Structure 1
Amino acid sequence: MLTDIFAYRYMDHQIWSSYTEVEKRLLNQVFGIVKEVLPYYNSEGKELEVNKLKWKCLHDQIARELGLEELSRRYYSYNQKNALGHEYPVQGFWSWDHVCGQFVKAEFPITHLDADRFVKERLSFIELAMRLRGEEIHQANINLPIMIAEAELRDRTPSRGLRIPGSAVDGVKAWNTTQNAIYNAQVTELNERFRRSRVPLTYHNGFIQVSMDEVIERNIAKPFWDLVAGPLWENVDIDIKEAIDRRDSNDKDPALFAAKALESAIKIVSDAKGWTRGTESGASNYIDNLVSKANGSYLSVWEGEMLRDYFRKVRNSLVHGPGSEPMPVLSIPQTDWAIETAMSWVRSLARRM
């Protein structure tokens, strides 16, 4: 099974030209975050079987993508002397967290000429671990209504034995809030570690990507990623990530995917508000639904015209064949503008719901 990892997505986008103490410190710090995200041992020092399996899965996924049998040597064997001075063999297997840690925190070999590849491969493990925990949190949020319903039933059912005082519903809600808060804090720390290491990277919703400048990241990107984290906006999330990846790897038509994300957002709002008639033939018709006075003028007329102009100038020029005219290509600043504008519009549309 193929796994989408940071090292492959940014193979042709150089970030590091050398490996210094800064990179070494960063890898140690972010691996420490993963150990908190997916603890390998309980408070008594015993392996958590459920998380042990997750670490093995992470190891196997990254090893396969990098074409390795093991991320680092797992089997160990050596001789040790007893109190009488007699040697005896000691052998066994290192734990999965140790094997992964040896890989992420490995010393940069003098013979390794590619610092960029070295760091990216190790950050790929970090990305996958954060993604795994993020998916667990996402699933817990989806299951929350079911868990609340079950808790309400327990609250209404008389108990014949000992029972923890308090509402089961409140307990479920508090647990979910705590899990989300802990993970969000861990993501915040990861991004802060990138910032302090002066690395132009951010982690959002399962993926490490090259970040925009600090002002854009703070005022547009972060609020955008926070808003599209829910299942309703999944397609928007996917297409914006694709747009950013294509921009950073100099791939074809990244702005087209930004436009797709924006069109999805417009359709989501129209559907959620019950304004979709089923006869719409494109983005312009859905914009009509949002501008319509009968629907309360969700958007002003001038806002609708700005949106239509975005699709006319950005998407249509890339989608339709130019005939004998020159092939339309957006410059890097124009591509950045197209992506940032789409993100800003999505945030504005979502916040009005």
Structure 2
Amino acid sequence: MASISGIRGESVTTGQPFLREPLARMNYHMLTDVFITRYENTPVWASFDELTRRFMVQAGKLLTEQLFPFYVDGNENKAAKATLQKLHDTLAMELGIDPLSALYNGGYRYPISDILKNFLQRPYEQTESADVFIKRRISLVELGFREFERNVKAANAALPGQLAELRKETPLYELARSLKVSALSEEFSIKHNKVLNDALRENMEELNERFRQAKFPLAYHNGFIQLSSDTVISNEIDKPFWALVSGERWKNVERDMLEAVDRRDNKGRDPALYAAKALESAIKIISGEKGWTRGNENGAAAYIDNLISQKNGRFTEVWEGEALKAFFSKVRNPLGHGPGNEEMPELTTQQDDWAIETCMSWIKSLIRRL
């Protein structure tokens, strides 16, 4: 293969290093949590088959035609182009492969959309690890959906301020209203925001269905792709749980539960402890928002008492409070404190699954009562 002065990347045909001309890029990078890093030591795929090949084509279309359409009415979409370049540069940094696929075909330079598609669709060769090969590409999909979801959440957070500005009686807005300029109307802003949220929901549903069709044991939610092997649990517990905790209000609940799931999937230590932390955070948030927190609570049990208090209207029944307290005393406390000279407490895989699913169910039930 001919050499071109530049920085190393991954060959489109062999996966071996080749030299290339540098890409224009941002000057600074930060460590990014990507699928392949989280699941580096957890084998997922033993082979690359036709279903996997088909998924990679579909993933390319999801990223470059649905989430971030590179062309709109035949013209380059500058915002999408910049975002796709950002996705490329972020993954290239994490994988140590730059560029992700060839920049040129003869004298023709590929647009960034094609560079990413070519990376996803590069033919698999048996000399490579199928597991690593697929994880690299799943990482790109994860980054793309995470970026789109981040944009939607930012738009949701900005909407109240936008509506407040549109309600102000300024000459510009009065003129816009009289001329019926829809882009400056409350109705337009609300509809536009709904379109964004509908697009996120529909694309997430499609991605998870594509995973199912490809027989990938995966599910996407809240910016992360994680292992998911039980369809019933995923549909009845996981999916509604992640939807409920997606807002800023529940960010600590979301963060600890993501950690719990990752630790379970990668056989890390004490996933149930992080699930319990997520449940405790939810209880504290509810107690605080309802005005029941006194400030002298010394543990989860005291916050549970706030929920079951008759004075507070019995947010939960007494028997529910007893069940919650039993979970913290029998599961969380032994894992959360040093055992001294005694045997280190450790749950089985099945017990970790139960603890995570139990905490998800409790959190989901408590939030729905608000």
Same fold (TM over 0.5): yes
| Aligned-pair CA distance for 1:212 | 4.4
Report the equivalent of 1:247. Answer: 264
| Aligned-pair CA distance for 1:230 | 1.0
> Which of structures 1 and 2 has the larger relative contact order (alpha carbons within 8 angstroms, sep 6+)?
1
Q: Do the aligned partners of residues 40 and 165 (structure 1) sit closer, same or farther apart at CA in structure 2, a change above 3 Å counting? A: closer
Conserved in 2, the CA contact under 8 Å of 1:155 and 1:167? no
AA aligned opposite 2:348: S
Partners of 2:259 and 2:341 lie apart in 1 by: 29
Report the equivalent of 2:17. Answer: none
Partners of 2:353 and 2:127 lie apart in 1 by: 38
Q: TM-score by structure 1 length?
A: 0.92
Report the equivalent of 1:70. Answer: 99
1:103 aligns with 2:119: yes
| Aligned-pair CA distance for 1:252 | 0.8
Q: Which runs of 4+ in 1 moved over 6 A?
A: none
Structure 2 gap segments, 5+ residues each: 1-29
1:38 aligns with 2:68: yes
Conserved in 1, the CA contact under 8 Å of 2:182 and 2:188? no
Q: Name which of 302, 310, 316 aligns with 1:293.
A: 310
Report the equivalent of 2:301. Answer: 284
Conserved in 1, the CA contact under 8 Å of 2:47 and 2:130? yes
AA aligned opposite 1:321: G
AA aligned opposite 2:142: E
Task: Count matched residues.
Answer: 338
Partners of 1:126 and 1:198 lie apart in 2 by: 16
Q: TM-score by structure 2 length?
A: 0.88
| Aligned-pair CA distance for 1:177 | 1.0
Conserved in 1, the CA contact under 8 Å of 2:252 and 2:278? yes
| Aligned-pair CA distance for 1:173 | 1.1
AA aligned opposite 1:208: I
Q: After superposition, what is the alpha-carbon deviation per residue over 1:269-325, rounded to whole angstroms, capped at 9, x for unaligned?
A: 011111111111211111111111111010111111111111111111111222332
1:168 aligns with 2:198: no
AA aligned opposite 1:42: V
Partners of 1:255 and 1:270 lie apart in 2 by: 23
Structure 1 gap segments, 5+ residues each: 78-90
Q: After superposition, what is the alpha-carbon deviation per residue over 1:137-196, rounded to whole angstroms, capped at 9, x for unaligned?
A: 001111110111122226994318733369911221111111101110000000001111
Conserved in 2, the CA contact under 8 Å of 1:155 and 1:168? no
Partners of 1:340 and 1:247 lie apart in 2 by: 12
SS where residue 76 of structure 2 aligns? coil
Partners of 1:147 and 1:224 lie apart in 2 by: 29
Match runs of 1:1-353 below 5 Å: 1-35=30-64, 36-43=66-73, 45-77=74-106, 91-112=107-128, 114-153=129-168, 157-159=173-175, 162-164=179-181, 168-353=185-370
Q: CA RMSD for the aligned pairs?
A: 1.7
AA aligned opposite 1:146: G
